[in-house]
Amino acid sequence: MMNKRVYKNYVDLTNIIVRVSDGTPEGKRNAVLVNSHLDSTLPSPGAADDAISVGVMLECIRVLTETPGWQPVHSIIFLFNNAEESLQDGSHLYATQHFTAHTVRAIINLEAAGSTGPELLFQATSEEMIEAYSHVPRPFGTVLANDVFSSGVIMSE
């Protein structure tokens, strides 16, 4: 499918979108998108790919919204998309048709690549995000995925 035009038609595709913001126009102008997907491949039950990430996002929403006095400076959009395993249809639907997509300035995609080993930053396109990631307790990453995704072998953005 590399170098081929792909046409998408969305039928019965549902994403769940939760936006956390201070409610002001200024607060809604810029957003960080946190993404996971609700589907899995057959015959997988989807525990690692990607139910664990869905759980992490739900817990983040709970903690953020229940923390007294916490106010986001910018919006945080939590996208629970469907049809990720079929050429990222759910995320494509969001990026091309949802009214909040134009506000996204950075994306954190929570994804599983197996169920063992350390947490891994496997793709980053912003020097600022890489710098921020360098301050986590045990940063671990590789540039291999950037090269693979850039080559077009895997149809993804």
Q: Which residue has the tokens 């307790």?
A: 137
The SS3 of residue 97 is helix
Summarised one tens digit per residue, pLDDT across range 75-100 is: 999 999 987 777 678 788 899 989 99
Quote the mean pLDDT of the chain.
84
Tell me which residue of 34, 40, 38 sits closest to 18, measured CA to CA.
34
What pLDDT shows up at residue 101?
Answer: 96
Structure tokens at 14: 């549902």
Query: Average pLDDT for residues 149-157, to the nearest whole number?
Result: 64
What pLDDT shows up at residue 1?
Answer: 47
**Which residues does the annotation mark as catalytic?**
84
Q: What is the dihedral of CA 151, 83, 11, 106, to 10 degrees?
A: -70
Tell me which residue of 73, 125, 78, 71 sits closest to 98, measured CA to CA.
78
Q: Which residue has the higher pLDDT, 109 or 49?
A: 109
| DSSP state for residue 135 in the 8-state scheme | T
What pLDDT shows up at residue 156?
Answer: 56
What pLDDT shows up at residue 31?
Answer: 96
Give the CATH number of domain 16-116.
Answer: 3.40.630.10
Where are the domains positioned within the chain? Answer: 16-116
